[in-house]
Amino acid sequence: MIPLALPSLAGLRVAVTRAREAGPALTVALRERGADVAEIPLTAIERLPDAPLAPLLARLTAGDVLVLTSANGARCVVDALRDARVSLAREVVVAVVGSSTGDVLTAAGIPVTLTPTQHDADGLVALLARTLVLAGRRVLFPCAEEARPTVRDALTQAGAQLQVVPCYASRPAAHGIAQLEALLRGDAIDLLIFAAPSAVRAAACATHATTVPCVVIGPVTARAAREAGFTVAGIADDATPAALVDAVATAVAHGVLRSRAASLPISP
């Protein structure tokens, strides 16, 4: 079967809704393919100051497991180790949900041990269950305040000595929601990109937002988008910019997405 040649995104007006902490890589990748991109962070990442992350990381020893399901959680770990001037012990098993999360650790010199081929919490816990004897094993799970119970419930049921540490929260960004509403009133958006259910919930606060299709990361965010009334035009199986851009381009190639108006690029 000849692979589908992915088209240019020229003229497609895309709103990237990720928090600013995610960086500009997705915006750069979309613009390189010709899209007109507006960065509209609909959420802001708030660190939870009372999270006892550093001492718990320092106590991990060989055979213990560090589980991370987001790049934001990985940044919390890196920052906690740096601020406390401690290092993660050798032979701690570091399990991450996908390459974007792993890249944060690798850049800080922390090797990643396990990454599932199915880049979500279900894939991660399945890999852990296949690879390790979890009963009685110490597992540290730094996560979002609003994290789904998938990891917690599966590891607890498997008998792990689990410590769940909420270390950050994703809050709606009022300025971003107002900016999105202004662009929607001007019919200036063809596509929304959602990286997490929290961004979906924030976008749904904007009047008429659900009239614009979306491309999302993973099945959990896709389900949240559909439940909020959005049309899901594409699902990226990883959180990398390349995977998201390919999901957008595939939707365009199949006629699911198109620019609704020829216009000048929207303001970033």
183 and 157 in a common domain: no
Helices and strands in the chain, H and E counts: 10, 10
What's the average model confidence in pLDDT over 242-259? Answer: 88
CA distance 148 to 218: 14
Q: Is residue 265 part of a domain?
A: no
Number of domains present in the structure of the chain? 2
Residue 203 maps to a domain: yes
The pLDDT of residue 2 is 39
Q: Do 68 and 157 reside in the same domain of the chain? A: yes
Q: What is the pLDDT of residues 153-182, one digit of tens each?
A: 999 999 999 999 999 999 999 999 999 999
In-domain check, residue 1: no
Same domain membership, residue 205 and residue 154: no
Q: Assess whether 163 and 95 both reside in one domain.
A: yes
Confidence of residue 4 (pLDDT cuts 50, 70, 90): low
**CA angle, 243 then 248 then 250, to 5°:** 90
CB neighbour class for 219 (10 Å; exposed up to 12, middle 13-18, buried from 19): middle
* Cα distances (angstroms) measured from residue 89 to each of 35, 65, 240: 44, 11, 28
Which of 35, 75, 46 minimizes the C-alpha distance to 241?
35
CA 49/CA 70 separation, integer angstroms:
18
Q: Do 187 and 225 share a domain, yes or no?
A: yes
Which of 105, 140, 170 represents a domain boundary (last residue)?
Answer: 170
Nearest to 216 by CA among 201, 206, 127: 201
Do 186 and 164 share a structural domain?
no
pLDDT at 13: 96
Return d(Cα 86, Cα 78) in angstroms, integer: 10
Q: Are residues 199 and 151 in the same domain?
A: no
Give the list of residues 6+ apart from residue 124 with CB closer than 8 angstroms, or none. 67, 69, 95, 96, 97, 114, 116, 151
Domain termination residue (choose one: 170, 195, 228)? 170
Tokens of 244: 């998201």
* Residue range(s) defining the domain that contains residue 224: 13-42+173-253
Q: Is residue 190 part of a domain?
A: yes
166 and 54 in a common domain: yes
Q: What is the CATH number of the domain that holds 240?
A: 3.40.50.10090
Are residues 232 and 179 part of one domain?
A: yes
pLDDT, average across residues 240-263 = 81
Tell me how far apart the alpha carbons of residues 218 and 97 are, in angstroms, rounded to a whole number: 11
Assess whether 105 and 184 both reside in one domain.
no
**What's the whole-number mean pLDDT along residues 236-256?**
90
Average pLDDT in the chain: 91
Q: Can you give the pTM of this predicted structure?
A: 0.81
Whether 75 and 185 map to the same domain: the answer is no
Q: Which of 138, 170, 202 is the last residue of a domain?
A: 170
Residues 128 and 236 in one domain: no
